[in-house]
Structure 1
Amino acid sequence: MKDDIASSAMPENQPDVPTRRQLLRMAAVGAASLVAGKVSMAEGVVAAPADQSILDVAIIGAGLAGLTAARDLKRAGCESFVVLEARNRVGGRTYNHDLGNGVVSEAGGQWIGPGQTAIADLARELEVDTFPTFYAGKTTVLAGDVRVAQDFHGGIGTDDAIGAKLGELARGVPSDAPWEAKDAAELDKLTYGDWLLKQGLKYEDGYFMGLAAKLTTGGAPAQLGLLFYLSMINSASNSLDQLESTKGGAQETRFVGGSQILSIKMAKGLGDKVRLASPVRKIAGWNRDVVEVHTDQGVVRARRVIVAMNPALCNQVVYDPPLPDGRTQLQRRWPANAPMRKTVHVYERPFWRDDGLNGQIFQVGGPVSMAYDNSPPDLSVGIISAFVSPASLPSDAKAAEQMLSAIYAKAFGGKALHPKQFHDQDWGKVDPWTLQCIHPLPPRFLTTWGKFLHPSIGKLIWSGTETADIWAGAMDGAVRSGHRAALQALAALAHQGEVA
């Protein structure tokens, strides 16, 4: 739905004000017809509201979802909106470490792959290029003093037969409403770990399948609901490889300039519509015609509010009146205990490639869940990034750097002991507006609370990657949820004759 709201490029001679208003009304009515099914033209053609201090839409969150929604509103002709962001930057759970000389390394979400068309289309529109993730060569597995180098050929080192069984189960679990699956109640009783234990896997196969799921969801198999994980596989064309692999999978492609560049470019196009350092503390009157959004920078009044935040973050906002119990419980119980920590080692060049190594490291029983080659396409420097266990690595930056360098030296040799730069991003501590990067939903969560995730409440429209119909949890899901939220807002405004 990336361009459903957008019309063709405007001519150089802009239409006069009445004509532009007519275009806006037509866009809103068109959006309403897509979302609501039927809206008469008369409902869209209304007089301008008397109180211009009341905005049509307030958007909470300047990540990929919120900025996509704002961009769609603007492209539809709606100028009566604002984007409120708690942080002093845009991008949400995408963030680039600036390494100098135009080189960045991503501290949050960074990859896309086949089927993730919404974010790929957005990148093309914003003229952001992509390049393939490097995986050629051997992966290093460390277990104590044992070192093994093996070529996984861009895969995840898992059992194909078990992957096929997961794919077949996933066919019956719709990603947009997994709680409606035929066997949802039975599947949601199990953890992914429970299911794996019943498959008679070899230790190494079970290890890599469990690790892949943990890197994708933030939760170990023993914490991860089977129904939830199947819904993610369903998004990936019912293919475990498409979800978890690099070659042909969701880790196949990177953005030139890092993933945060998408949000930076969108925000630049929106100008002063984006307000930073404006955390929302309270939403009052969500059940009335005009909603009051209380921020640290003042009160914003709007007819519709798009809440583009992780459900756990939504729970930090005070609602007056309180939200219905189902939605309240969903937000209170949404996992907020899966912090992700990513580190960056910068070297003069990617020297490990000289030895036929691809930069990937899996460490059994150590702080490194996975390290990987994150070098820029011009190879001006060599970068090893890593997902690390927050509790297994010192919080002191220098100590963390030295511990990881010693591990990398076991994999790559002594050159790894001398990085030029080190960066550390612990998403559980970096600010109060993230809590975590990804969300492992436990058993029985979706069948109990899932039905409260999507429906609007009063004038509130829920957005963010967690609400996406496909690729929920991924950057692509965030973009899709932003498109949908903009359509919902325009449809609702047109239906009530509120768009000016």
Structure 2
Amino acid sequence: MAKKVSSDTSINAQRRQLLKFAGASAAAGGLGLSAGLAKAGATLESASSDDVLDIAIIGGGLSGLTSARDLQRAGCESFVVLEARDRVGGRTLNYDVGHGEVSDVGGQWIGPSQTAVADLARELEVETFPSYYDGKTVILGGEGQLAIDLEGTFGTDHAIAEKLSKLSRDVPSGAPWRSPRAEELDKLSVGDWLARQDIKPEDRVSWDGSIALTGGVMPAKMGFLHFLSMINSATSDYFKLDSIKDSAQGTRFVGGAQLLSIKMAKELGDKLRLSCPVRRISDWDSDVVTLHTDQGTIRARQVIMALSPPLCQQIEFSPALPEKRAALQRAWPAHSPARKTAMVYSRPFWREQGLNGHIFQVNGPIIWAYDNSPVNGEVGVINAFVSNANLPSDHNQAKRALAEIYAQAWGDKALRPVAYHDQDWGQVDPWTITCISAIPPGFWTTHGEALNPPSGKLIWSGTETADIWAGYMDGAVRSGHQSALEALNALRLRRRT
């Protein structure tokens, strides 16, 4: 049976006690953040000299599909969407847990001010519901544990959060390199800045875990300017970025986030090509661009590049891209392919114990485990971001290790899951080489100006290019809208000349 959790009313005192149990006094270990449709349409034939589309979209995630949907609504039918995977949804993915329910094993949350994705969901008639956080969170360290009511937060300090919120007001989310303090702030990592704040070790655990979840790396590797730009997206309110209640992790989709892409894809018919990676792009600086794919050759007047910057490195460009753009793509971090697990139980039994299903672990494989059960709790699902360095890669061994950790928190019922899924993005999806853009210090002041300007007929899209909520589903939808407008406007100007 699980050990009895502490009921001490002093959170900081409990943290200090826990860290003694764990024999640790610093961060919670390294970070290893390391459904679909059938093929739509037949294999593409090689294009003739007269077969030129107005627009080709590379990428069938939220961004590319939003662009396609906007083109159709604007009356443009001369386009195609090319997706390398055998499914749509990009970095969102549903796992079938049975009983007609799913669990997200990719991107899944939205929150306040993320109006673009919320509007899209309403239009597609995809309902939402609040993330579950009622009850106490369990923190594990070694053989010790404690339960704390974090009131929908990750337990970070309000005074430090207010400092971050204030600093973020001068860092524009869509162009952090244009901050009046960009040079100064971009020299620092988040870890550098936190080290200057006289934060107690027991409090630093919460900060490190929270920032690692948001940025994909530990604070020492994440650029401070970039982190402030993320907070700026959240209306310059740190807790709207890194919390659960009323935050970017506050709301989920009924049927899973991938459902948005699945519904948009169904409207496209044979304009969507799955399992169709683009290998080479030639003549991007000419009137007509040629795309060389696994299903043939396509020619288009405009191309929307709705994929992450490092993924562009897998495409050959002829002629070579402008050096500043090429340098941005080479330098873009691509080392955060998250590993996300889903443990399924017959019901969310932890709720009956006054626990919310959330776990933070000091120096263990779990970065954050949380209740990811369906809207009415028909089955119980615990998802977790896990560290590859501390969890076996073998499916059965990982399942057993996680079940034992959950049993330490909630008792022996956790040892009897009915299903388990392990989504190690870095191992199973070659087209998702990074789930989160862990931008390092110095990146934006060196490469930022090359992020958005088109290269010839190539329009750079995807969530990383969004003015706000870059890196989130909302940013993907915003970039999709913007790219469709840019492509249509370019065609309009072309036809006037």
TM-score, normalised relative to structure 2: 0.89
Dislocated runs of 4+, deviation >2 Å:
none
Tell me what 2:77 maps to.
Answer: 79
Cα distance, 1:51 vs structure 2: 6.7
Distance 2:430 2:143 in 1: 39
Task: Indicate the SS of the match to 1:496.
Answer: helix
Preserved CA contact (<8 Å) 2:347 2:377: yes
2:131 corresponds to which of 125, 130, 133:
133
Aligned residues: 450
One-letter amino acid of the counterpart of residue 168, structure 1 = K
2:375 corresponds to which of 374, 377, 380:
377
Cα distance, 1:271 vs structure 2: 1.1
* 1:489 matches 2:487: yes
Distance 1:142 1:52 in 2: 65
Distance 1:302 1:443 in 2: 38
Write the mapping of 1:195-344 to structure 2, written as runs, cut at 5 A. 195-344=193-342
Tell me what 2:161 maps to.
Answer: 163
Tell me what 1:392 maps to.
Answer: 390
Per-residue Cα deviation, 1:360-403 (whole angstroms, up to 9, x for no partner): 00000000000000000121110000000122111110000000
One-letter amino acid of the counterpart of residue 458, structure 1 = G
Per-residue Cα deviation, 1:54-73 (whole angstroms, up to 9, x for no partner): 00000000000000000000
Task: Indicate the SS of the match to 2:341.
Answer: strand
Distance 1:180 1:187 in 2: 11
Preserved CA contact (<8 Å) 2:154 2:242: yes
Tell me what 1:12 maps to.
Answer: none
Cα distance, 1:219 vs structure 2: 1.1
One-letter amino acid of the counterpart of residue 85, structure 2 = R
Tell me what 1:401 maps to.
Answer: 399
Cα distance, 1:230 vs structure 2: 0.3
One-letter amino acid of the counterpart of residue 348, structure 2 = P
Tell me what 2:95 maps to.
Answer: 97
Preserved CA contact (<8 Å) 1:193 1:222: yes
> Which ranges of structure 2 fall in alignment gaps of 5 or more residues?
1-47
Preserved CA contact (<8 Å) 2:137 2:147: yes
Per-residue Cα deviation, 1:195-231 (whole angstroms, up to 9, x for no partner): 0000001222222122111101101100000000000
One-letter amino acid of the counterpart of residue 67, structure 1 = L
Distance 1:128 1:51 in 2: 42
Distance 1:258 1:74 in 2: 25
Write the mapping of 1:26-45 to structure 2, written as runs, cut at 5 A. none
Preserved CA contact (<8 Å) 1:188 1:444: yes
2:147 corresponds to which of 121, 146, 149:
149
Preserved CA contact (<8 Å) 1:341 1:427: yes
One-letter amino acid of the counterpart of residue 284, structure 2 = W
One-letter amino acid of the counterpart of residue 256, structure 1 = V
Preserved CA contact (<8 Å) 2:310 2:332: yes
> Which ranges of structure 1 fall in alignment gaps of 5 or more residues?
1-49
Distance 1:129 1:498 in 2: 43
One-letter amino acid of the counterpart of residue 132, structure 2 = F
Task: Indicate the SS of the match to 1:91.
Answer: coil
Write the mapping of 1:50-89 to structure 2, written as runs, cut at 5 A. 53-89=51-87
Cα distance, 1:124 vs structure 2: 0.1
One-letter amino acid of the counterpart of residue 494, structure 1 = R
Preserved CA contact (<8 Å) 1:350 1:382: yes
Identity over aligned pairs, percent: 61
Distance 1:138 1:152 in 2: 7
Preserved CA contact (<8 Å) 1:340 1:390: no
* 1:361 matches 2:359: yes
Tell me what 2:417 maps to.
Answer: 419
Preserved CA contact (<8 Å) 1:358 1:373: yes
Distance 2:347 2:97 in 1: 14
* CA RMSD in angstroms, aligned pairs only: 1.1
Tell me what 2:186 maps to.
Answer: 188
